[in-house]
Amino acid sequence: MRIAIASDHAAYDLKAALVPWLKEQGHEVADLGPSSADRVDYPDFGYKLAGAIAERRAEIGIALCGSGIGISIAVNRNPACRAALVSEPLSAQLARQHNNANVIAMGARLIAEDMARACITAFLATGFEGGRHTVRVDKLGAPDFAKDHV
């Protein structure tokens, strides 16, 4: 699987630990930065990750910042992205199964490396259920359509 990963400075260490692990799992990983723990702004890296998903350079994204909140907001500004902030494997599974999330977001100050790995494992192992969820997910990428049909 082609995976893009990005963080801010607060999550740099978690990102640095996850990249080699993902490669060991056989994934093609694009590390979109940052390249050090020097202070950066999470929106810059969230937008970069969103671009990789929107341009189909990656199938799945992993977005990391201190809380996971800021970078997930940045990623979700792009209509091609459905980023879900998770902190345990069930949320990660449901994000894929019901919401067809293509980006998993986590907070490095709130989640340990082993839990982050468990969340990613669940996220990658789960497919979209479709069915009743399809129309809802389609509306997520087309807010103008959704507001006209409420």
Within 83-148, residue ranges assigned H as helices are 89-99, 113-125, 132-140, 143-148
Calpha distance 56→80 (Å, rounded): 10
Q: Which two tokens stand for residue 74?
A: 């940045």
3-class secondary-structure state, position 131: coil
DSSP class of residue 128 equals: -
Please name the residues in contact with 140: beta carbons below 8 A apart, sequence gap of 6 or more. 79, 82, 99, 146
Closest Cα partner for 66 from 96, 40, 103? 40
Q: Which two three-digit tokens encode residue 92?
A: 């990660």
Report, as residue numbers or ranges, the catalytic residues: 65, 98
